[in-house]
Amino acid sequence: MSLFQRKQSKTIAAPLSAAMRLRVLLIIGVILLPHALHQPPQISLWIALGFGWQFLHLKQRLPAPPRLLLVLLMLGGMALVWASQSTLIGRDGGVSFILMLTALKLLEARNLRDARMVVLLGLFLLFTLFLFDQSPFTALWSLLSFALLVSLFNELSHNAEPRPLGTSLQSSLQPLLWSLPLAVVLFIIVPRPSAPLFGLPQTSQATTGLSDELEPGSISQLSRSPELAFRASFNDREPQRNQLYWRGPVFWGYDGQRWERLPPEFALLSDEQRTRRVQTQGTPLEYSLMLEPTHGTILPALDRPLSAPSGANILGDHSLRFRLPQDARQIIQLKSDPEAKLDLELPAPLRRLSLAMPAADNPLLQDLGASWRTLPPLERTQRALEHFRTQAFSYTLEPPLLSEQDGMDDFLFNTRAGFCEHYATSFVLLMRAAGLPARVVTGYLGGERHPQGYWIVRQGDAHAWAEVWLDGQGWVRIDPTASVAPDRIEGGAAAAVPTATEQLPGALRRDFGVLHRARLHWDGLENRWNRWVLGFDASDQQKLLQALGWVGNQNLRLWGLVVLSLALSLIAIKLVQHWRAQPKRSPQQRVWLAFLKQLRQRGVEIIPSESPRALLQRLHRQRPELAPLAAEFTEHYLRWCYADAAADAQTQARQALAQLKKQAKP
């Protein structure tokens, strides 16, 4: 092992002071804090206990954990991760496992090597935070955390005791600020792929959202969820508030308990079928949806969508579906015509599906619907809505349990209290009993208009309504909930059930208080971040480059050279600044250091406090073959440093050094 290697080994194995270890603990704690939002509570508690033990140990209130205990803690942590995540790899299990290992490494960190390893783990965990969340808060937190890690690495490399945090941060923020302009330019001009460079595995946790099955309670469970479903921005004009029906899954088959979607043989619409079965009534509305990841294929769209975007299909029931599950936030451009007429001619197979119902279930409902069969079709729908208005029905977030056999009879003639899926289901069954084709449509109703001009639609805005097929009109939307709770159409669940407002999350109350205004300000910031940073795709890049006049191979090459020159200039400036910051050495010092370098390369141990004559005496004893040239150099070097008239000493010292360089190395 060379002298340099031995010296480096001694340095990285040197023990850290308690103050430096405390600095490491606190900064890594800042890095890991946001991960608690994405980890099971038991794992977060396990990590917090590890941090607490190390903190109390540094305060001399607890002993250092013995190695056997560390091994047992590691095995217990692995078991905890496996029990919580069912795996030790992938996004969820892998990150939990690395968090646990980082906490253990902090418990045993004693020297510089351990501290550097913890810093590297912190950098990696900083990156993994973006696997869970890409909000502006995460970006800002990560930027500040990165500055803290850089300052910590500098402290570990140059100081035995940590400097004040402000002083340390100042030295680390400067290079980061220097790099920001270059990062912005690269963000704009670097080619952007049409798809991510790598995909993320699906999370093992359940995702809130619309389902491919509908049964009592499906929508009411969503009514309490403040999770964002999507944001909608209309290009030129907006629909009326009562037209904000966002179409999702459509249900046809009913087995007495749950609804099912259209069979696969009727699922897809060709372009020719879509043109024939959809008659637009005016100028379509153009809009964009910023969809949150759902890990599913449901694509909500303003009723009624006219086409499917790339990667999606329009189905036979005029709903949209992605071909593959969507695991990332994306922006979709769509067109809809809320007044369009659908299926003026209803094929016989679809007519049979939209009239089918269990013959033995809900006899009272079937009798009521059958009593309207002799009436004109439109009047049959009015009789059902009148029944809801006049029979003391109520809209509630907590509907009572219904009987399993004849649940809709129980609802219509006994409890008379339900959520939107109860009204949609009972209305569709009444229409089928009355001889009218009908189906249930689920999706979202309304939303909240942001002052910046876009609509915020949350999972709590989930809704169910009915469509009835009428001769000459096609499928007509009828919302029976409006007969019972008209405020639900205009103001959401909170407006429909004001007495239950306290049961809803704050984001769904829309009380226009201080907290609500703060939420809107934050949502506006997040919307801009998602649209202009996370959603900055190849199309946006092309538009921006065109606006800047950078489009074209010649221009791109030119601007590429400009960016490269800018980067090289910044690097050169920093190198010059670094060189100027180095301590100035005299010619004698530079020659002496070159002499020591030659000895070190020949295996001679260099002792920093050793004088030139003491070094020469040691060479006579240990390396006599080097002593003659070393003696000649030392004589001329000392004359150069200390003699009054030593004009030739510099030349002779350099000549002796040159002869030493020519001597063969062992």
Place of tokens 């002071």: 17
Residues with Cβ within 8 Å of residue 192, at least 6 apart in sequence: 536, 537, 538, 541
Between β-strands 417-418 and 394-395, what pairing exists: parallel, antiparallel or unpaired? Answer: parallel
One-letter amino acid for residue 19 of the chain: A
Between β-strands 330-336 and 341-342, what pairing exists: parallel, antiparallel or unpaired? Answer: unpaired
Tokens of 515: 């907290």
Measured CA to CA, the distance from residue 126 to residue 413 in angstroms comes to 58
Measured CA to CA, the distance from residue 466 to residue 442 in angstroms comes to 9
One-letter amino acid for residue 591 of the chain: V
**How many residues does this entry show for the chain?**
666
Phi, psi of 394 (to 5 degrees): -135, 155
Measured CA to CA, the distance from residue 612 to residue 607 in angstroms comes to 11
Measured CA to CA, the distance from residue 280 to residue 266 in angstroms comes to 22
Measured CA to CA, the distance from residue 274 to residue 283 in angstroms comes to 17
Whether a cis peptide bond, with omega within 30° of 0, leads into 352 is no
Distances (CA, A) of 546 to 181, 188, 195, 558, 564: 21, 12, 22, 15, 21
State the CB neighbour count (10 A cutoff) for residue 29.
Answer: 17
State the CB neighbour count (10 A cutoff) for residue 543.
Answer: 11
Tokens of 66: 């013995």
Kindly list the catalytic residues.
Answer: 420, 463, 479
Q: What is the dihedral of CA 255, 260, 266, 268, to 10 degrees?
A: 180
Q: Are the C-beta atoms of residues 432 and 354 closer than 8 Å to each other?
A: yes
Measured CA to CA, the distance from residue 451 to residue 447 in angstroms comes to 13
